[in-house]
A = this chain, B = another copy of it.
Amino acid sequence: MTIRYPNGNQFYEQPASSNDHNDTINFSNRGMTLEDEINKSNSYYLRNEIAVIHKKPTPIQIVSVDYPKRSAARIKEAYFRKASTTDYNGVYHGYYIDFDAKETKNKTSFPLKNFHKHQVEHMRQCLKQQGICFAIIKFVNDQSVFVLRASTLITYWDRQATGGRKSIPRSVIEKRGFPIHYRINPLLPYLSAVDLMID
């Protein structure tokens, strides 16, 4: 069955770590969500000892649980909660990595409403601790993907409050972000953008 988040996005389990030889680029990738693509890339980075980056579990508010004899505890009632942090974090060459991944059907800009206030606050806090923070943004229209520094995102986020626009123009993302081109392995080599950010 298809499970959906309250925002309508489809819920996917973390994929089991897949076999390298199956990680080929083909049109079937076009059916993958950005989350799938990043999980797949993280599996590659993990298997090859390049980085340890995981998606955090979806936060759930548990209301009621059954404890049947001789079988696993069963959650009978629970609700999705809003995440208070970004979805992904981990470690790469001693650097703390922290990011969120968002896709948009918009063609010319990225709407800031894709982020929650708590997520942006979390990025601000991580930056103060010298973490490497960013967003991975995908324009599904033409399958282009960019890494955008958290500092750029925060600048636009804060400007909203004083009458600024509610989105980041694609032209800004192209100019200030780092384009990520699909490859075979990893599917989305976003750590190459991190290397540039560290330099």
Closest to A131 in B: B91
Interface size of A in residues (CB-CB distance below 8 Å): 50
- A3 contacts the other chain (Cβ, under 8 Å)? yes
Which of B51, B64, B74, B129 is within 8 Å of A51, CB to CB?
B129
Which of B11, B93, B98, B131 is within 8 Å of A129, CB to CB?
B93
The contact string, 1 if C-beta is below 8 Å from chain B, for chain A 2-14, is 0111100001011
Which of B3, B14, B57, B125 is within 8 Å of A57, CB to CB?
B57
What CA separation (Å) do A77 and B64 show in the bound complex? 10
- Does the CB pair B61–A59 fall under 8 Å? no
What CA separation (Å) do A65 and B4 show in the bound complex? 8
Which chain A residues have a beta carbon within 8 Å of chain B's beta carbons?
1, 3-6, 11, 13-14, 46, 49, 51-52, 54, 56-62, 64-65, 67, 72-80, 84-85, 89-96, 98, 122, 125-126, 128-131
- Which 10 A-B residue pairs are closest in the complex by CB-CB distance? A94-B130, A91-B96, A75-B78, A57-B59, A91-B131, A91-B129, A96-B96, A57-B57, A52-B125, A6-B73
